Structures are given as C-alpha cells and as structure tokens.
Amino acid sequence: MLAGFAGTDVFAFEHRFRLASGEHRWHLVHVAPVLNAANAVAGWLGTAVDIEERRRQEEGAYSSERSARHQTDIGGDIIFTLDLDGLITMVSPNVERITGFAPEAVLNRSIDGFLTLAQGAFARAMIARKLDGVSGLPYDLES
C-alpha cells in the first residue's frame, strides 16, 4: 500500500479494518516514514486506533441534529433562541410563512419588536426568574 509513496510527511486517515471475527471496525491510522542515514524512506511506522464507538456517537449526534432541524423546519411553530439581551440568535424558517419576515431579517433584532408590551414584559420577567434559578416555569405567551 505504501510502497509507491515517496513523501516524508506524517499522515493520517480513517479506515475500516476487517477483524479476524469478520466484523468491520473504523480505525484512525497515523503513518510516519522511517528514514535511513541518507534521509531516504527505509520503511514506515504506523498506529491504528479503534474509533468505532466515536464514529457511532458522531453519527448518532448528526442524526439527532438532522432530525431536530427537520422538525424545526417542517413544524407549524416558530422556534427561536435569544441571547441574554433579548436579541434573536436563531429562528426557524417558519417565521417567514407565519409572519412574512425572512429569517435573516429577524436575526440580531430584539424580541420586543415582535411582542406586545405585555408579552415583552412577561418574557423579560421569565428570563430574569430563570436566571435566578427558578425552574418549572411555563413559557407560553398568551395573546
């Protein structure tokens, strides 16, 4: 595999190895050249670390994120996040269908611009209570 490789750089790649049991598992492979006195490649030194569990966890996290994003995109609600100053940092695409505002038009804007005065006061009070450690609070804003 490495016979035709003339470089002297260390390199790494992920590869699936077939074990004696027949099972295939992902490994992170690091390969470094072993140089002779003339500074020519005389051989290779490598390690292969089993990363199967890490790959499964990454795939699970990716799948979970993809599912959550899909639900956010197709759901009937507007889902958003705010920073502690009440600025919108993320909003679902449904905002455009429901309000007429494109998602990029509401990012970094204050939530106060989209609520009645009473709703804004309620939302800020809820944030303050949450920051004070009060849990189990309802977050629905009634119109």
Task: Write down the CATH number for the domain with range 76-131.
Answer: 3.30.450.20
Kindly report the CA angle at 57 between 77 and 19, in degrees rounded to 5?
Answer: 150
Whether the model pTM is above 0.75: no
Ranges of each domain in the chain: 1-74, 76-131
Cα 98 off chain centre by: 27
Cα–Cα distance, 92 to 63 (Å, whole number): 18
Same topology, domains 1-74 and 76-131? Answer is yes
Res. 46: pLDDT tops 80: yes
Tell me what pLDDT residue 143 has: 45
CATH architecture of 1-74: 2-Layer Sandwich (3.30)
Tell me what pLDDT residue 59 has: 80
Tell me what pLDDT residue 104 has: 93
Q: How confident is the model over 46-65, as a mean pLDDT?
A: 82
Q: Is 109:95 a contact under the CB 8 Å cutoff?
A: no
Res. 138: pLDDT tops 70: no
